[in-house]
Structure 1
């Protein structure tokens, strides 16, 4: 995102707000992945890039690559192009992902009913169990939506979302193949909360991007004043959280991707 913004003529400033730690109960996650390897699930839903990192870390502790956790008969669903790209770089095939509404709601809309064997959500083999490894703060939208369509959904905490910085002993540090292929980190200034608030007080920040509902909550708690800047939401769930917090977004990205974010910021600053 920082590289795309810089290329478009913006000055990206990074402010770490949230971080990620391994799930506190690794035994529960490990047991769910054992059931996955045994073919007890028809679908695996990976709804975030951080989930990929958490699962890759578990695979590494077992001395295997991420694809070894997923047997050939299991289908994989995800939320959008960024997570699809990351999964494919790790060697996993994505069978279902929304192209339009890239959110949990968009994925549920695509998903067939459990008795519709062979369709988008049917596995054709009578396995109607779905595994969703996720954040400890994940909304129930996806699980409840698939449950309403007749699927047997099991959620398991794959990682914990925490305030930045994470505990060094529990922090997720496993790198992703997609990041390694990119070859370089985007060059951008990293601010502290105090520095960001000084910039806000001076009215020198034109926009703040909220990249997740968790980040939206931290923005509400940490950054002040927000009246002189525009808030940009990466997607509908983040926009809804900003609205709930009383700091509505000026605009929402049409797609949760670097290009979508650049477009949203450009539209907000230059209507």
Structure 2
């Protein structure tokens, strides 16, 4: 990295980096890697479907429209897509789900940009650690009058739509702060590819250009790894980490890059070494982490 923290052009020249995402979700990340000189390749491992508990989600979002919540927590871009998918099925826009007075919290900059692109205001996002823990550090207890959103019955209620595999960190943390949390399953994380009839396909106002990178099948990715032709593999989530462990091991000689501490912890729990953890869950932050990991690896191999 340059002294100012920016990624130098060509900083990854000649390096081949595997992103474990589908083309429609890897565009920005692949473009950032290519801009730094790398050759990005894709191996889709996880996908997303509408929740099997459609009635539970519909009931929660009806309560949201009725102003029964003080806060809506949007923890990922996929949450935005799931809420848009529901809205479209009801003939609504996403902005129609959130009445005036309901505050919105996000975890990372990507989810914040996605929410704001839909015409909604984000009231709270962590400045430091962009994670569930970081959001909890920034969140006020429910008895802090300045944090309680709208007045009335919904003053301490929080709606937390999330993946069926979401860790309980946010729900338990908000509960400990005195908030009344409704954690509902908004979408289901599945092995790629999802059922075409259930796959989340709602487009985002933010836009997501499909990645032009080569897409590998699992056996092709394993062959590339065995031949030493992949320099780094990026894991975007704990569920992706588990699929990497199931699909790609052994991974000797290849740097594993984690997006966020929960993903890094999951990789380590599976016995996989983490070359670097992206400090920021942004394309630029991921490129920084890849450069750091590969430079550290180079120093070890060339003392």
Calculate the TM-score normalised by the size of structure 2: 0.86
- Conserved 8 A contact 2:101-2:150: no
The answer to whether residue 118 in structure 2 is matched with residue 125 in structure 1 is no
Shift in alpha-carbon separation, 1:124–1:170, aligned structure 2, 3 A? closer
Q: Structure 1 regions of 5+ residues with no counterpart? A: none
- C-alpha displacement at 1:124, in angstroms? 6.2
- Conserved 8 A contact 1:213-1:241: yes
Q: Structure 2 regions of 5+ residues with no counterpart? A: 1-28, 297-303
- C-alpha displacement at 1:123, in angstroms? 2.2
- State how many pairs are aligned: 266
The answer to whether residue 213 in structure 2 is matched with residue 188 in structure 1 is yes
Q: Deviations over 1:167-214 (max 9, x none)?
A: 11111111111116xxx4332111100000000100111000000000
- Conserved 8 A contact 2:70-2:150: no
Q: Deviations over 1:230-270 (max 9, x none)?
A: 10001101001001111021110010110000000001112
- Conserved 8 A contact 2:42-2:214: yes
Aligned equivalents of 2:127 and 2:215: distance in 1? 32
Structure 1 runs (4+) greater than 6 angstroms displaced: none
The match for 1:23 is: 51
- Conserved 8 A contact 1:46-1:132: yes
Aligned equivalents of 1:270 and 1:152: distance in 2? 46
Determine which of 283, 295, 302 is the counterpart of 1:258. Answer: 283
Q: Deviations over 1:89-129 (max 9, x none)?
A: 111110000121000000000000010110xx432625100
Determine which of 67, 77, 89 is the counterpart of 1:39. Answer: 67
The match for 2:270 is: 245
The answer to whether residue 130 in structure 2 is matched with residue 105 in structure 1 is no
- Conserved 8 A contact 2:102-2:150: no
- Conserved 8 A contact 1:132-1:154: yes
Structural RMSD (CA): 1.0
Q: Residue 170 of structure 1 aligns to a residue in which SS?
A: coil
Aligned equivalents of 1:100 and 1:219: distance in 2? 28
Structure 2 counterparts to residues 161-176 of structure 1, below 5 A: 161-176=189-204
Determine which of 230, 241, 251 is the counterpart of 1:216. Answer: 241
- C-alpha displacement at 1:225, in angstroms? 2.0
Calculate the TM-score normalised by the size of structure 1: 0.96
Aligned equivalents of 1:176 and 1:187: distance in 2? 19
Aligned equivalents of 1:165 and 1:185: distance in 2? 16
Aligned equivalents of 1:269 and 1:43: distance in 2? 41
Aligned equivalents of 1:161 and 1:248: distance in 2? 24
- C-alpha displacement at 1:63, in angstroms? 0.9
